[in-house]
C-alpha cells in the first residue's frame, strides 16, 4: 500500500516509516523539522542522537533496501500537499505532523494560537486535498486520549448511545481537553468527522495513550535508526521522562498527588496499532475512533515501576513529587474502552517492565546528552500563565 | 458599564452600540470592515444603505449625544486588543467580531481555513488579554444554535446530566455543527469553556438563533442609524432574505424540502437578550450557555408568513423551493431549551407578523438596491465543494 506519513522525522513518524517499509509498504513522508526547533526552544534535544535527514535517509536505504520518499516542507502550505498527493497518489495518509505538546501550547498567546492554527490548517489541507485528488484514500489521524479529559463516566470510542429525557440518539462523546494543544486535537477531530459526513472521507481518528520506549520490531540493532526521544517538560512523555531521569540519577517527578490515570502503550504497540488501522481502512464516509492504548496506569505506579527496574539495573533513584503546574484532577475516575483495535487483531505487549528495561539500557549510552540538558526536565510553564521553575512538593510544605 | 463591542460595524454590532448607549452604558467598539468586503466578494451589498464609519460616528453622536469610541483594526492582532483593553478597561466584552457565514466558509480550502483561523485567533486574543489586563470583565461571545446541529434528542443549554453505564456526570452537550463556520464557533466555545476553567474567566456563550428585522427600540426613525441588512447567499439570513426577495417580486426560496427547523428571534430581541446577559454577568470562573431565540419555526412556515404579510402590503410573491446546496437534514426533530434568558427577564416579542411587516416596509424604500444585486440571492456554493447556480426544484423534476 502507498502510505504517506506527515511528521516523518518525529518520534512516531521515523519509527512508522521503518515499520511499514519492513512490512512491504511503499512509504513517503514529509517534514520541516519543526520538532527539532521546538525542543531546542525548550532548551533541550533528543536523548538519542539523531542525524540530519539526508543522512537518515541514507541509513534507511542501506538497512531496508528501499528509499523513503521524502519532501521537506510545511504542511500548512496547501500547494505542497497538493503536489505530494498528485505525485505519490497515497492510499493511506498517516497524519502525525502536528505540534504535540500541552506545555508548549500553554506558554503564551503566541504559542497557544500558533499550535491551534498550525494543527487545524495542516489537517484542513489534507482533507481538501484528499477530497480533490485521492478521495478513496484513508486518513489515519493521530489524536490523543487527552481529548476526552477525565469525565466521571466510562469513555467510549468516540460515540455513545445516550438517552436524554426519554429519547435516544448516538452522539459524539463530549470532549473535555486539558490544554490548548489537546483542544487543537479536538478541533481537528470535529473537522474530520464533518469532512467524512459531507465528502465521504474514510477516516480513523486515533485517540492514542501516552507512548513510551525506544524500540520497535523492525529496526534491528542499528543505532542510527533509533528514533528521537525527548525528555524536556514539553515534548517528553511521562515514562520516557522518568527513564531519562533515572539514567542520570535525577528524582522521578510525578506532578502533584501523582494519581492521574492515563492509558499507556509501548512504541512497538503504537506501530502495530497504526499499521492495523492502515491495513484495515475505514469505509467510505466512515469516521471511526480508536482508543489506542494497552492499559491504564496511575502515574505513581509507573514511577514505582521505573524505580524498581532501575534498581535491578543498579540505578538508585528516588521519587519526588513536583508541585503541579497544570490545572488537572490528580485523583479521578478513568475507564476508557479500547475494543476496536483488539477486534482487528491488536496483540498488546503486556510486559511493561521489560520494555522499560530495554529503554533504560538504550538510554544509559546517552547519559551525557541527558545530563547536558537536565534543566529542561523541570517544568516552568504553568497553566495559569505564570512562568517559574516548579518546586518540589517537599520544599513547599 | 463600560462595554467593548467587537464587530461594531456589523448587523448586530451597530445596533447594539446604539441600544447600550441609549440605556446609559459607555460603549466602545472595533472593526476593520471585513463584513463589507466579504459581502462585496459575494457580489452583493447591504440592502439598507450604510455610511462610511466616520460619518456613522457623527450621526451616532448627533442622535445619542455621546461618542461611540472606535478603533479601526484587526482583532487577530493581539497588540490591538491589548492597547484597547489598557485604554478602555472594559467591564464587558461583547464578541460579535467573527466571520458569520456558513456558505462563505464552504467555498474552498482557503476560505474554510481562513474562517476558522480568523475566528479562533480573535477569541484567543480576547481571552488572553482579559486574563492579563481585565480579569474581572465578562465575555459575552456570540455563538450560534447551529453549533448543536439537529440531534434526535432535546438540546439543553450547553450542558446536560447524563447517565452512562450506571454512572452519572454533567457533561458538555455534544456538538454536531453543519459547516466549517459553525465548527469555528464550536472550537471557540470549547476554548472559552477551558479558559473559564483554568483562568476563572467570566463567560456567557450565546447560542443565538437566526436573527431578522431592521429595527430595535432605541434608534427612532433616523434612517442613517439603520444597521446593514444582507440578502446574498452567504451573509443573508433566512427571513431577511425572504423579505428582500418579496420586495423585488422574487420567489421565496426555501432549500430542499424546506422543513428545516431553526430558532428565530427579531433584532430587537437579540438586543434585549445581549443586554440582559451584559447586565447580569457570569460569576468568576463560570462558563454559562444561553440558547437565545424566541421560537422554533419551520422554514416553509416562515416563507408562508412572509408571503401572507407581503400580500397584505400588496406584494404578490410565490414560494419556489431551491435544490439544497447544503448537506443537512430537511425534516428532523428539534427541541432546544431556552430558559436561561427568560430566568433573567427576557420578554419575547411574539408578534412575528408585525416585525416582518415593519421590515418589508423599511426594505421597500431600497427596492432598487436589492434589484441591482439580485443575482446574489441564488446560491452557488455547494457543501460537496462544487460551484454552480442552484436550480429550482421544479426545474429538476
Q: Which is it for the CA torsion A257, A263, A267, A268, positive or negative?
A: positive
Does A26 reside within a domain? yes
Smallest Cα distance from B154 to chain A, Å: 7
Give the closest of B112, B154, B183 to A165, CB-based: B154
Sheet holding B287-292, edge to edge: B69-72, B26-31, B2-6, B92-95, B138-144, B202-208, B287-292
pLDDT digits (tens, 9 = 90+) for A99-115: 999 999 999 999 999 99
ipTM exceeding 0.95, yes/no: yes
Contacts of B110 in chain A (CB under 8 A): 78
Q: Is B333 a catalytic residue?
A: no
pLDDT digits (tens, 9 = 90+) for B105-137: 999 999 999 999 999 999 999 999 999 999 999
The whole-number pLDDT of residue A390 equals 96
Reduce the DSSP state of residue A273 to 3 states and report it.
helix
Does B305 reside within a domain? no
Give the closest of A128, A172, A333 to B174, CB-based: A172
Length of chain A: 397
Inter-chain touch B191–A168, beta carbons under 8 Å:
no
- Assess whether pLDDT exceeds 90 at residue A221: no
Inter-chain touch A169–B191, beta carbons under 8 Å:
no
Inter-chain touch B116–A120, beta carbons under 8 Å:
yes
Reduce the DSSP state of residue A136 to 3 states and report it.
coil
Does A376 reside within a domain? no
The whole-number pLDDT of residue A111 equals 98
Mutation to test the A interface, candidates B191, B289, B324, B385, most A Cβ within 10 Å:
B191
> d(Cα B170, Cα B159) in Å, to the nearest integer?
7
* Helix and strand totals (H; E) in chain B: 14, 12
Q: Which of B21, B123, B144, B227 is catalytic?
A: B144
Give the closest of A169, A190, A384 to B153, CB-based: A169
Cβ distance B59 to B35 under 8 Å? no
> d(Cα A164, Cα A179) in Å, to the nearest integer?
29
Does A385 reside within a domain? no
Does A283 reside within a domain? yes
pLDDT digits (tens, 9 = 90+) for A332-359: 999 999 999 999 999 998 889 999 999 9
Q: What CATH number has the domain bearing residue A166? A: 3.40.50.720
C-alpha cell at A126: 489534507
Inter-chain touch B383–A174, beta carbons under 8 Å:
no
Task: Per-residue pLDDT tens, chain B, 397 aa: give them.
Answer: 999 999 999 999 999 999 999 999 999 999 999 999 999 999 999 999 999 999 999 999 999 999 999 999 999 999 999 999 999 999 999 999 999 999 999 999 999 999 999 999 999 999 999 999 999 999 999 999 999 999 999 999 999 999 999 999 999 999 999 999 999 999 999 999 999 999 999 999 999 999 999 998 888 888 999 999 999 999 999 999 999 999 999 999 999 999 999 999 999 999 999 999 999 999 999 999 999 999 999 999 999 999 999 999 999 999 999 999 999 999 999 999 999 999 999 999 888 999 999 999 999 999 999 999 999 999 999 999 999 999 999 998 7
Does A42 reside within a domain? yes
C-alpha cell at B140: 459575552
Q: Is A144 a catalytic residue?
A: yes
Residue of B nearest to A161 (CA): B164
Q: Which of B141, B185, B261, B373 is catalytic?
A: B185
> d(Cα B228, Cα B7) in Å, to the nearest integer?
12
Does A362 reside within a domain? no
Inter-chain touch A198–B327, beta carbons under 8 Å:
yes
Does B306 reside within a domain? no
Smallest Cα distance from B18 to chain A, Å: 32
Pairing of strands B26-31, A69-72: unpaired
Mutation to test the B interface, candidates A171, A285, A324, A335, most B Cβ within 10 Å:
A171
Smallest Cα distance from B173 to chain A, Å: 6
> d(Cα B6, Cα B8) in Å, to the nearest integer?
5
Contacts of A328 in chain B (CB under 8 A): none
The whole-number pLDDT of residue B151 equals 98
Domain count, chain A: 1
Q: Is A181 a catalytic residue?
A: yes
Q: How confident is the model at residue A222 (pLDDT cuts 50, 70, 90)?
A: confident
Q: Which of A19, A181, A255, A287 is catalytic?
A: A181
Q: Which is it for the CA torsion A129, A130, A132, A137, positive or negative?
A: positive
Q: Which of A6, A21, A123, A144 is catalytic?
A: A144
Domain housing A179: 2-231+263-295+330-349
The H or E element containing residue B301 is helix B299-312
Residue of A nearest to B132 (CA): A385
Q: Where are the alpha helices (DSSP H) in A248-392?
A: 267-279, 299-312, 340-343, 352-364, 367-372
Give the closest of B165, B191, B385 to A154, CB-based: B165
Contacts of A113 in chain B (CB under 8 A): 120-121, 124-125
**β strands within chain B, DSSP E:** 2-6, 26-31, 69-72, 92-95, 138-144, 159-164, 167-172, 202-208, 210-212, 261-266, 287-292, 295-298
Contacts of A171 in chain B (CB under 8 A): 151, 153, 174, 176
Amino acid at each position: 500500500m502507498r502510505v504517506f506519513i506527515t511528521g516523518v522525522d518525529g518520534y512516531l513518524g521515523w519509527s512508522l516509516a521503518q515499520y511499514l517499509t519492513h512490512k512491504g509498504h511503499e512509504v513517503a513522508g514529509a517534514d520541516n523539522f519543526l520538532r527539532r526547533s521546538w525542543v531546542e526552544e525548550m532548551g533541550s534535544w533528543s536523548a538519542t542522537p539523531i542525524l540530519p535527514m539526508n543522512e537518515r535517509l541514507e541509513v534507511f536505504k542501506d538497512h531496508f533496501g528501499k528509499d523513503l520518499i521524502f519532501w521537506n516542507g510545511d504542511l500548512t502550505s496547501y500547494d505542497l500537499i497538493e503536489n505530494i498527493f498528485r505525485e505519490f497518489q497515497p492510499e493511506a495518509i498517516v497524519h502525525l505532523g502536528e505540534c504535540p505538546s500541552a506545555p508548549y501550547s500553554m506558554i503564551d498567546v503566541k504559542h497557544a494560537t500558533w499550535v491551534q492554527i498550525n494543527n487545524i490548517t495542516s489537517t484542513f489541507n489534507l482533507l481538501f486535498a484528499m477530497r480533490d485528488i485521492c478521495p478513496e484514500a484513508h486518513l489515519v489521524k493521530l489524536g490523543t486520549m487527552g481529548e476526552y479529559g477525565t469525565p466521571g463516566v466510562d469513555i467510549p470510542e468516540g460515540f455513545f448511545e445516550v438517552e436524554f429525557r426519554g429519547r435516544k440518539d448516538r452522539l459524539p462523546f463530549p470532549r473535555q481537553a486539558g490544554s490548548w494543544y489537546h483542544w487543537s486535537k479536538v478541533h481537528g477531530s470535529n473537522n474530520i468527522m464533518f469532512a467524512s459526513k459531507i465528502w465521504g472521507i474514510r477516516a480513523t481518528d486515533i485517540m492514542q495513550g501516552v507512548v513510551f520506549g525506544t524500540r520497535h520490531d523492525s529496526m534491528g540493532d542499528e543505532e542510527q535508526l533509533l528514533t528521537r526521544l525527548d525528555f524536556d517538560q514539553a515534548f517528553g512523555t511521562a515514562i520516557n521522562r522518568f527513564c531519562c531521569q533515572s539514567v542520570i540519577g535525577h528524582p522521578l517527578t510525578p506532578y502533584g498527588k501523582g494519581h492521574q490515570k492515563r492509558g499507556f502503550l509501548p512504541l512497538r504497540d503504537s506501530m502495530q496499532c497504526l499499521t492495523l488501522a492502515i491495513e484495515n481502512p475505514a469505509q467510505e464516509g466512515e469516521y471511526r475512533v480508536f482508543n489506542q492504548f494497552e492499559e491504564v496506569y496511575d502515574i505513581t505506579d509507573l514511577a514505582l515501576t521505573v524505580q524498581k527496574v532501575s534498581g535491578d539495573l543498579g540505578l538508585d533513584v528516588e521519587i519526588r513529587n513536583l508541585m503541579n503546574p497544570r490545572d488537572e484532577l490528580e485523583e479521578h475516575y478513568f475507564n476508557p474502552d479500547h475494543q476496536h483495535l483488539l477486534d482487528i487483531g491488536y496483540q498488546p505487549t503486556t510486559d511493561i517492565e521489560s520494555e522499560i528495561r530495554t529503554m533504560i539500557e538504550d538510554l544509559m549510552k546517552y547519559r551525557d546528552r541527558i545530563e547536558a540538558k537536565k534543566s529542561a526536565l523541570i517544568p516552568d510553564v504553568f497553566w495559569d500563565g505564570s512562568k517559574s521553575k516548579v518546586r518540589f512538593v517537599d520544599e513547599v510544605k
